[in-house]
């Protein structure tokens, strides 16, 4: 069955960096757009970034553009999010999610449970 | 950016009730509207995609309707496992945006 398992979250000081990973299994990872979506405490879901299935292109929310970098390793069935210059407002649970095989924008049919990132001094 | 506004933000209902949650987009998004269920500490679950299409494995008591700017999610007869939060999401244009969520509680 499809599984997405995030890791790499933790407590980091403002201005610090963190790299999140998402291990995918149960499907042909290299066929799908993949996404990062976050949820701050008590807030709604917020799209962060997506990546084309062969990494041809990426896109970012304005709130993270220039600070976060999405990448993937199809040989390892893994998705990553490099987060630099972290701010308190980046505190959230970060989910990876599976998109479509053929279109950039779509519904997300599978999600991971998420990894918590806390930015605090 | 397209703003997605859900109402109500919270709702109390009883097992067996029929419940409707609405989602309004700040501009037309055709039928590019999806609904999710989320329980604390769990991964969000896709319920409805393309406004009215039931995701595989989702019980038929869930249904979606609407197009343009106004959409609804209906649960025809609430079951105990349906008490959760529900969010809408537009996939019409970037940035992808979500509603703020509706928390469905047991009365």
Q: What is the 3-state secondary structure (H, E, C) of A55-79?
A: CCCEEECCCCCCCEEEEEEHHHCEE
For A4, the closest chain B residue by CA position comes to: B43
Query: With an 8 Å Cβ cutoff, are B98 and A107 in contact?
Result: no
Residue A103, pLDDT > 90, answer: no
**CA pseudo-torsion sign A107, B94, A22, B100:** negative
Distance from CA of B61 to the nearest CA of A (A): 19
Residue B10, pLDDT > 90, answer: yes
Please check whether residue A25 touches B, CB under 8 A: no
| Closest Cβ opposite residue B55 in set A47, A109, A113 | A109
Tokens of B84: 């959760």
CB burial of A1-37 (b: ≥16 within 10 Å; e: otherwise) equals eeebebebbeebeeeeebebbbbbeebebeebbbbbb
Please check whether residue A114 touches B, CB under 8 A: yes
Residue B41, pLDDT > 90, answer: no
Query: Taking residues B27-34, what's their average pLDDT?
Result: 98
Amino acid A102: pLDDT: 85
Strand pairing category for B102-106 and B10-13:
parallel
Strand segments, DSSP code E, in chain A are 3-7, 10-12, 18-25, 34-39, 45-51, 58-60, 68-73, 78-83, 92-98, 110-111, 115-119
For A5, the closest chain B residue by CA position comes to: B43
Reported as a pLDDT band with limits 50, 70 and 90, residue A104 is: confident
Chain B stretch 67-106, residues whose beta carbon is closer than 8 A to a beta carbon of chain A? 87, 89, 91-101
Amino acid A28: pLDDT: 97
Percent of chain B at pLDDT exceeding 70: 100
Please check whether residue A42 touches B, CB under 8 A: no
Any idea which of A91-95, A101-105, B37-41, B67-71 has the lowest mean pLDDT? A101-105
């Amino acid at each position: 069955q499809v599984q997405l398992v995030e890791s790499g979250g933790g407590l980091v000081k403002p201005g610090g960096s963190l790299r999140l990973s998402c291990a995918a299994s149960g499907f042909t990872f290299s066929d799908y757009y993949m996404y990062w979506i976050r949820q701050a405490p008590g807030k709604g879901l917020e799209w962060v970034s997506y990546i084309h299935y062969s990494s041809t292109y990426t896109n970012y929310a304005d709130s993270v553009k220039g600070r976060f970098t999405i990448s993937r390793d199809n040989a390892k069935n893994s998705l990553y999010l490099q987060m630099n210059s972290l701010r308190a407002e980046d505190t959230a649970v970060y989910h990876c999610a599976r998109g479509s095989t053929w279109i950039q924008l779509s519904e997300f049919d599978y999600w991971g449970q998420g990894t918590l990132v806390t930015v605090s001094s | 950016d397209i703003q997605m506004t859900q109402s109500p933000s919270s709702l109390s209902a009883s097992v067996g009730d029929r419940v409707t949650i609405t989602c309004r987009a700040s501009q037309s998004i055709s039928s590019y509207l999806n609904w999710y269920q989320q329980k604390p500490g769990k991964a969000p679950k896709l319920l409805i995609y393309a406004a009215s299409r039931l995701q595989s494995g989702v019980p038929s008591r869930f249904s979606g309707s609407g197009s343009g700017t106004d959409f609804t999610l209906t649960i025809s007869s609430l079951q105990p496992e349906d008490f959760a939060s529900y969010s809408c999401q537009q996939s019409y244009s970037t940035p992808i945006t979500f509603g703020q969520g509706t928390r469905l509680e047991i009365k």
